[in-house]
């Protein structure tokens, strides 16, 4: 199905969690001189206008980035994420929001490589045009044009040909729309296959917390993967509505996470709950494969 457009949801609380974690994963990979590769299986359009078009219809960014934009008490990891968004808004007014490809590109280095897949033809064209303009603005003979490659196709299928990356270091980001239940199965099968090709890679899976069996079961299925470890973090911003509509919670499941990620999230998740939460149902969970323990936090309003 090709009806999903992420622009409707750009900058919401789920994007805050997804992009904050993604940036921290890449900062860790960047601590070594050796290059790494980022593979985004569902890249979207790359950048989204918040003051018009799809994003302005539901204004979901008001549940996420908008609540952080003018705050002066941001924890360091949150401030780093907000600074990436500010790069698209140099005049200080929140008008544009970067998708995962732009967040990755903003923190990657000259030697690192970004491989993007997008199946939706309209978003794929916008993504290509956005990065063409970006590279034209900054290339200036530096040779950076080859560091980003975009494929208009199925990222689940295209991932196989890229693993393992030449440097044997990399992050695979998987966040399909989950419009159909087959997406949950595709995530599981894709990661199982990817781990046989690139067992030491880091895999980050974004998923919605919905009232459907596939959504509830996926984290447990990912925990059983043959890997060195895992980390699962979820953010809930409000009590679920009686009719079940609307996204109140989402999660990031990371396979082979860096050791720095869990202590960092322990410190900042209560802040996100306090800042993004809207009622007493707001909270978070954080668990890892090493401890099997679950930390929970709930905002009291």
Known binding-site residue numbers for S-adenosyl-L-methionine: 19, 42, 100, 118, 154-155, 175
Question: Which among 191, 286, 254 has a CA at the least distance from the CA of 22?
Answer: 254
Whether 175 is catalytic is yes
Other C-beta atoms lying within 10 Å of the C-beta of residue 221: 16
Task: Please identify which of the residues 105, 112, 175, 183 carries the catalytic annotation.
Answer: 175
Known binding-site residue numbers: 19, 42, 100, 118, 154-155, 175
Other C-beta atoms lying within 10 Å of the C-beta of residue 162: 21
Catalytic residues: 175
């Amino acid at each position: 199905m090709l009806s999903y457009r992420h622009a409707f949801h750009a900058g919401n609380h789920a994007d805050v969690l997804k992009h904050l974690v993604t940036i921290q994963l890449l900062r860790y990979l960047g601590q070594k001189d050796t290059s790494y590769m980022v593979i985004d299986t569902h890249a979207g359009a790359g950048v989204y206008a918040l003051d018009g078009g799809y994003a302005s219809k539901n204004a979901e960014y008001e549940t996420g980035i908008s609540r952080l934009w003018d705050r002066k008490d941001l924890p360091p990891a949150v401030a780093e994420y907000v600074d990436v968004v500010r790069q698209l808004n140099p005049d200080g007014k929140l008008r544009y929001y970067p998708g995962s490809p732009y967040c990755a590109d903003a923190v990657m280095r000259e030697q690192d490589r970004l491989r993007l897949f997008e199946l939706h033809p309209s978003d794929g064209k916008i993504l290509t045009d956005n990065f063409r303009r970006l590279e034209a603005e900054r290339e200036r003979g530096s040779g950076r044009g080859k560091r980003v490659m975009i494929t208009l196709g199925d990222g689940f299928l295209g991932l196989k040909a890229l693993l393992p990356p030449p440097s044997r270091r990399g992050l695979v980001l998987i966040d399909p729309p989950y419009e159909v239940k087959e997406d949950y199965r595709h995530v599981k099968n894709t990661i199982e296959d990817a781990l046989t090709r690139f067992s030491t890679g880091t895999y980050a899976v974004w998923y919605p917390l919905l009232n459907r069996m596939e959504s509830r079961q996926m984290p447990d299925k990912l925990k059983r993967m043959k890997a060195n470890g895992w980390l699962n973090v979820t953010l809930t911003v409000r009590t679920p509505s009686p009719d079940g509509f609307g996204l109140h919670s989402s999660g990031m499941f990371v396979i082979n996470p860096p050791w720095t990620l869990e202590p960092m999230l322990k410190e900042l998740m209560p802040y996100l709950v306090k800042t993004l939460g809207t009622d007493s149902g707001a909270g978070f969970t954080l668990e890892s494969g090493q401890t099997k323990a679950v930390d929970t936090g709930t905002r009291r309003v």
